[in-house]
Structure formats: structure tokens, C-alpha cells
Amino acid sequence: MSQENILTVENLVMHFGGIKALNDVTFNIKRGSVSALIGPNGAGKTTVFNCLTGFYKATGGHIMLSANSKDTSVIKVLGEPFKVTDFISPVAFYQRLKYKMFGGSHLVNRAGLSRTFQNIRLFKEMSVVENLLVAQHMRANRNLLAGIFNTSSYKRSEDEALERAFYWLGVVDLTEFANRLAGELSYGQQRRLEIARAMCTNPEIICLDEPAAGLNPSETEALTKMIRVLRDQHNTTVLLIEHDMGMVMDISDYIVVLDHGEVIAKGNPDDIKNNPKVIAAYLGAEEGEEVTL
Amino acid sequence: MDIVLQQLVNGLTLGSVYGLIAIGYTMVYGIIGMINFAHGDVYMVSAYLTAIAIALLTFFGVQSFPFILIGTLIFTIIVTGAYGWVIERVAYRPLRNSSRLSVLISAIGMSLILQNYVQLSQGPNQQGVPTLLSGAIRFHVGDGFVQITYMKILILLIAFAGMGVLTYIIQKTKLGRMCRATQQDRKMASILGIDTDKVISSVFVIGSSMAALAGVLVTLDYGSFDFYIGFIMGIKAFTAAVLGGIGSLPGAMLGGIILGLSESLFAGLISSDYKDVFSFSLLVLILIIRPSGLLGKPAVEKV
């Protein structure tokens, strides 16, 4: 298991029919960093996220997640087709069969990766606190009989889950809305709740898809603070997609720039700011033309 | 007056049975958006399993009714639940990501397979179980009387207890929370680490258990059954689910009871030949006024 990189993406390829959404994307995310994925509209940023989180099954390449003290190949746990070599090696055959039968995107989350969506996807007809409880079912006693008979271990695990839910409600400043329906919250509150819900699955890396979209400047500032809290107090690696360049340059340690499904630049914010290729991609300049930000 | 009261009692028992079966339709529709046409036949299988369980228990010398009832319920619920699990695994899961129509056809196929398999293995003739609980309470009302058999009381008690336990599971337990989350957004639930395939399987098992509960109760009450009873019961229960708003759990229970009551009252007061016509007309009427059913949420078109 790699100690330094929590996420290793190699030669990631994603085709939708004849459209090449991602073409040979390679980057690494360092443990404990705040990294950003930026690029013009349609560059393939969300597609990368969807591949990382198992929302899509990538056409080719490798995604290795090194979290919860083990390596998980994201593409493998989604279930791959059988290969000829599997029929020679029983171990490979068993693994392939296991993931084909029981694999799926839930395993990616259980391996320590969590995400939020650009368009908010809360369980709108459940209460705020239930949204957070549902995300924690993996660590608690979820035996149905224990639930019906309300055993003491079940009660204890429920109490712990509630406590954690209220802790996160406090972090995102939604404690007073705990029993409201999630769909009744305002837009900014829903965004914060989504982050809290993602954090309740106890991830080592959280992927935020445009967390600041639709927020006003003061809300964006609060969000920036919260992302720092996630990294500094909860040792969570943060990977975000964002269009708000001020925010990206402010909080990122590392930036990956995508354009037309390819990585055109990687580096720290200062390098990216002065990279001519990035400026060209954003401003649409001709090759070789001099542009400054 | 006595007829009205008598038919109210009959209707309530019939309705609670419809409600139990309707739960299976509504939960499956809620979670994967398909109509499980094989559900009525799962109910039919449970009727046969009831007879098998009673035969086995009497063979081993169990004589007292409460033990027979509990033994039959446990056996039938477990085996019928297993049927539900297998049906989902074999007929629906491979088609999870294909069009809705193919799953529907698969469900109809599954229904035919179950009917023919039972017909082949158990014979096409009507079968029966002996009456195990007889006796009734009589109330004198005016000139006539109202008679409530002990079996009807038992049906009401067990059916409402079953609905109560189910409501508790869905509202309060972890599995229920996972079911509701999966129902609202399956992909998101799986991103949060919920094994949605397992949740869907458990919904099928729960729905089949409820059908088994209904199957045991009806079989003990009526005493006779054949391989075809699942069809009409399935249609009625499906009607109840639609009436109450498909996808809504309290809706299914309410729809079942309304359907049962209106059917019995119409049969008792006007004509028993036209009771089905009346209940389906009621469905049409309610759908004209409330297209999403009594407790269903109106579908909002996303733009």
C-alpha cells in the first residue's frame, strides 16, 4: 500500500459510445492534501469523479485507492468481465466471480471514498438527521432481529450513530434543523448537509463536486473554512471540482487541469496560474499566442 | 342493519388480507419501479405450503391449534420468503439495468412458471385443509344477528399485527432506513455504501412474507385452494395498491381495507354477482379524481 498517495489514477479512459470523454488521464492525490480538479466546461471533470466513485465503470486504466489500510482497485470491485487467464488461475477466477456477483459502487464507499454531487442528491423525504444516520449503517449493528427486539447493543449503536450525526450537524451548523425534512432546507443548507452526510460514512478521501456552486461569497468563505477543518481535524483528504478560481487558488495544495478529457497541467497553484497551456484552455487563445492572467 | 354490520366485519377481514398482499406490490414498485406480477402466485404457493405444514405438523403429532398455527406461520413465512428471494435473484436482478418492459415480461413469465409448476407438482384439482378453529361469537342486532367467527377475529389480529411490525421495521429500524433511502435514490444510496442489491432482495423477502401471512390466514379460513387462486387475488391486491397510491405503504393497507369493505358491502346489499364490477369502478372513479391514488404523491415532471 502506498503511504504517500491515497489515490493513484493511471491511464484512465472513459468512452460513451464513440465519444471519448476521458483520454489517458493520469494523476496522483497525496494523503492529507486538498487537491482541485479544474478545467473548462465539458472537460471531463465530473466524469473523472464518476469513475473514481464507481458511478461509472471506466472503459480502461487503473484507479487505486489506498485507504483503510488496504489497496482497492475501484474498477475491479465494480465487476469486470471474465478473461481467458481467469480460467487458469482459480484465485483470479474466484475474485472476479465474487465482484461480479456482489460487487458494486457501495464497495468503493466502504473502501474509504465518499462524494457529493453537483446537483444535490439528498434523500429529500427523510429528515435531516435520518440522512446522516443512513450513511452510517455500515458501522452499526444492523441485524433486523436486533432492531425489532431493540437489544441493548442495537440501542448503543443507534445512540453512537445519533451522537455522530449531531456532531456533524454541529460542524455544518444545522443542529436546529435536525428534524426537518431535508427537502425543506435552503440551497446552501442542503449543500452543507450533503457534505456532512458524506463525512458520516467515515471516508479517508472526500470528493466534492462544485461545492461552492450557487453559494454567495460569505457562504463560500464558510465552506473554505469547513474544508480546512475536514483536512486538519479529521485527516481527510479533499478532492474538489470547482469553478470559483479564487477559492481554488486559496485552499488547494495541488491542482490538476483537464481539457478535452486530457490532463494538460498538474502542480501547485502558482505553477498553474502561470502555465500558458492552462491560460490558453480557459481563454481560448491560439497556440503560441502570449496571454497573461 | 344486521347485514350491514355483518358485511362490515367480513369486509374488514377481506380488506386486511388484500392489504397484506398489496404491501408486496407497493414495496417492490417503490424500490425498483416494476410491477411484480408473480406476487399473486407467491401467495398461491404459500397456500400450498400451509397445507404441507399442517400435514407435517399433524404427522408429528402436534394437535393443539396454537402450536399448529405458529408452526405453520413460521414454516410458510420462511419458505415463501425464500421463494421471493429466488424469484428476484433469478428473474429480475439480471434485468436490473434493462428496459422496464423486459422486467415486466419476465414477471409474467415467472407467474406462469409458478402456476404451472404447482399444477404439475400438486395436481390441478382443488385441495383443502380441515377446519382447525371453529366457533363464533353472535351478537343480536334488532331481529337478526351478526356472527363473527373466531377465525375472522384471528385474521384481523394477525393481519394488523403484521402491518404494525412492518411499519415499525420501515420507520424505525436500520433496514427500513436503508429501504427508504434506496427507494428515493438508489444510486446515491449505493454511493453511501449501502448494498442496494441486498436491500432490494430483502424487500422481496418482506413482501413475500406478508403474502405468506395472508396465504396462511385465508387458507385456514376458507379451507380450499387451487393453483389458480393467485391470479384473482393478485389482481385485487394490485388494485388495492393502486387505489391507495402505489409506492405508499400506508396507502396499500388503506386501499386494501377500502376495497374489501366496498366489495363486501356491495355484495351484501346490492348484488354479489357485480361486486368485482363495483370495486373496479371504484378504482376508476378514484383514479379520475386522484390520479396518483389516495395517499400517493403526485408525480412531478422534472424539467
pLDDT digits (tens, 9 = 90+) for B253-286: 999 999 999 999 999 888 888 888 888 898 899 8
Residue B150 binned pLDDT confidence (cut-offs 50, 70, 90): very high
CATH class for domain B2-289?
mainly alpha
pLDDT digits (tens, 9 = 90+) for B17-41: 999 999 999 999 999 888 999 999 9
Grid coordinates of B14: 377481506
Residues 6+ apart with CB under 8 A from B156: B12, B13, B16
pLDDT of residue A286: 57
**Measured between alpha carbons, how far is A209 from A36 in angstroms, rounded to an integer?**
10
- Exposed, middle or buried, B200 (CB in 10 Å: 0-12/13-18/19+)? buried
Cβ of B184 within 8 Å of Cβ of A109? The answer is no
Task: Return the number of other C-beta atoms located less than 10 Å from residue B44's C-beta.
Answer: 26
Substitution target in B174, B182, B300 with the highest count of A β-carbons within 10 Å is: B174
**Measured between alpha carbons, how far is A242 from A194 in angstroms, rounded to an integer?**
16
CATH code of A1-112+204-292, in short, is 3.40.50.300
Which residues of chain A are within 8 Å of residue B191 when distances are taken between CB atoms?
A: 53-55, 105-106, 108-109, 114-115
| B65-87 helix and B196-222 helix, angle to the nearest 10 degrees | 140
- Which of B148, B164, B166 shows the shortest CA–CA distance to B206? B166
Residue B215 binned pLDDT confidence (cut-offs 50, 70, 90): very high
Mark B121-140 as b/e (b = at least 16 C-beta within 10 Å): ebeeeeeebeeeeeeeeeee
Domain ranges across chain A: 1-112+204-292, 121-202
Task: Scan residues 102-161 of A and list those with Cβ closer than 8 Å to B.
Answer: 102, 104-106, 108-110, 114-115, 117, 121, 123-126, 130, 133-135, 137-138, 140, 142, 144, 147-148, 158
Reported pTM: 0.86
What mean pLDDT is reported for chain A?
85
Cβ of A142 within 8 Å of Cβ of B188? The answer is no
Q: Are B72 and B54 in contact (CB under 8 A)?
A: yes
Bridge partners of A181, per DSSP, are A127
Using the Cα atoms of residue A204, residue A209, residue A210 and residue A213 in order, give the sign of their dihedral.
negative
Assigned superfamily of A121-202: P-loop containing nucleotide triphosphate hydrolases (3.40.50.300)
Same CATH fold assignment for domains A1-112+204-292 and A121-202? yes
Q: What is the ipTM of this complex?
A: 0.80
**Measured between alpha carbons, how far is A198 from A180 in angstroms, rounded to an integer?**
19
Task: Return the number of other C-beta atoms located less than 10 Å from residue B13's C-beta.
Answer: 24
Task: Scan residues 1-40 of A and list those with Cβ closer than 8 Å to B.
Answer: none
